Amino acid sequence: MRAYAFVAAAALLLAACGASETSSKLPDVRLPTLGGPLGPSLASCVTEKCLTVVVAPWCGICHQVTPDIVRLRRFLDKAGVSSRVVVGLDDLEPIKGMAALFGSDALLDPGGAVAARGVPLFIVTDRAGAVVKRVSGFPRGMSSPEELASFFGLP
């Protein structure tokens, strides 16, 4: 009977963790862009859903999948879905260097406003910034923008 109670408690704990993961929000902060002005608040989205990708200059996988991320952002832009790349978890100069790979709208986050346990980190949010899906690492076996958009639940 104790084993059953333990398993039930563990299942409830895991469900609560999963629920808090999807109900969390991105912070209400505006980060500077590589181009200079502040970007929009991370806690809002101008389209039904947004994709926020967090990368770091020291992350080899981030560099390796940069072309895939760029292609995905172009695809989403054509589909009318907002996306943004946050470059952080390092000093400002390496952040700027990597941000240049994504363009002048790349967001600079040397202060760690976006908490990331691992990078690359893909976060899908709704209009109000509530997290709908969070994926650490690059999805295996997918490189086409269409496959990636579908995996993240984006049109």
CATH at residue 43? 3.40.30.10
Structure tokens at 44: 């809002």
Q: Domain range holding 72?
A: 26-151
The answer to whether residue 58 is domain-embedded is: yes
**Cis preceding linkage at 120, omega within 30:** yes
The answer to whether residue 17 is domain-embedded is: no
Closest CA to 116 of 85, 89, 145, 152: 89
**Number of domains into which the chain is organized:** 1
What pLDDT, on a 0 to 100 scale, did the predictor assign at position 143?
78
What pLDDT, on a 0 to 100 scale, did the predictor assign at position 9?
34
| Residue 153 buriedness (CB in 10 A; 0-12 / 13-18 / 19+) | exposed
The answer to whether residue 12 is domain-embedded is: no
The answer to whether residue 13 is domain-embedded is: no
CA distance 113 to 26: 9
The answer to whether residue 31 is domain-embedded is: yes
CA distance 142 to 137: 12
DSSP H or E run through 88 = strand 82-88
Helices (H) and strands (E) in the chain — how many of each?
4, 5
The answer to whether residue 37 is domain-embedded is: yes
Q: How far is CA 136 from CA 11, 58, 61, 99, in A?
A: 22, 16, 11, 19
Q: What is the pLDDT along the chain (155 residues), one digit of tens a residue?
A: 443 333 333 333 333 333 333 349 999 999 999 999 999 999 999 999 999 999 999 999 999 999 999 999 999 999 999 999 999 999 999 999 999 999 999 999 999 999 888 999 999 999 988 999 999 999 999 879 999 999 999 98
The answer to whether residue 8 is domain-embedded is: no
The answer to whether residue 14 is domain-embedded is: no
- pTM exceeding the 0.95 threshold for the entire prediction: no
- Dihedral sign, Cα of residue 64, residue 67, residue 68, residue 70: positive
Q: How far is CA 45 from CA 41, 83, 118, in A?
A: 8, 9, 23
Q: How far is CA 78 from CA 24, 62, 74, 87, in A?
A: 28, 23, 6, 23
